[in-house]
Amino acid sequence: MEQATLGLLVLDTSFPRPHGDVGNSATWDFPVILREVGGASARKVILEDPRVLFEDFVMVGRSLIADGCTGLATSCGFLSLMQSDLKEALGVPFASSPLMQLPWIEALLPRGQLAGVLTISENSLSGAHLRAVGARPDTDIRGLPQNGSFATAIFEDSSEMDFDSCGREMVDAGMNLISAKPSIGAIVLECTNMAPYAAEVSKSTGRPVYSIVSFLNWFQSGLTPPRF
């Protein structure tokens, strides 16, 4: 069996992870090692300061490296706050957040177009999260309803999730984002659990949509380049 070169530090959660979610191993066309960071709940990482969990992430990251992983990533976009410190502490290529794609995407877009963000929590996603990954701190963002199906399932760590309702919330947020700022030429999904809905958002908005899946497929292509 092929050795996994990508290790994923996943949050300590119980909510459903459908195909396309970062924490579902079937999402990936290559082997990965998924390992939970104990105590790292969605609430602690998103609604509080995730940096208090720094040593926990380092410990799990080092265990993944010991098991042969040559690159590491996380399962929450809000961990961008620890990008610099974790890559230095772990000593291997480290991908903290889908938000890291923002500068690259804007380099691809025609003049006058910008990238926007859909996030699970608009009030929590700050300029500091964006600056930490080299993105514009004034990037346009749109959050999902905090009492909606998606945010409720994630923050309450529910055992069930209404996927159809979640999809509608994603599409509505995407449409609101481009309606408020028509110059948005591409969308990045901050939340790694949003990836299963990327195709719906792209079809509805007419914009390319980038997620944790696009990010880590690129990341893995360098860790283990294809042979021709």
Report in angstroms the alpha-carbon separations of 168 from 97, 134, 144, 153, 175: 24, 30, 10, 15, 11
Nearest to 223 by CA among 47, 28, 19: 28
Q: Evaluate whether 210 touches 104 at the Cβ level (below 8 Å).
A: no
In this prediction, residue 145 carries a pLDDT of 97
Task: Kindly tell me if the per-residue pLDDT of 154 is higher than 90.
Answer: yes
Dihedral of alpha carbons 192, 23, 199, 208, sign:
positive
For 34-64, the pLDDT digits (tens) are: 999 999 999 999 999 999 999 999 999 999 9
- Selection from 208, 196, 193, 221 nearest residue 77 by Cα: 193
Per-residue model confidence (pLDDT) at position 1: 58
What pLDDT score was predicted for residue 98? 98
Give the chain's radius of gyration (CA, Å): 17
| Entry pTM | 0.96
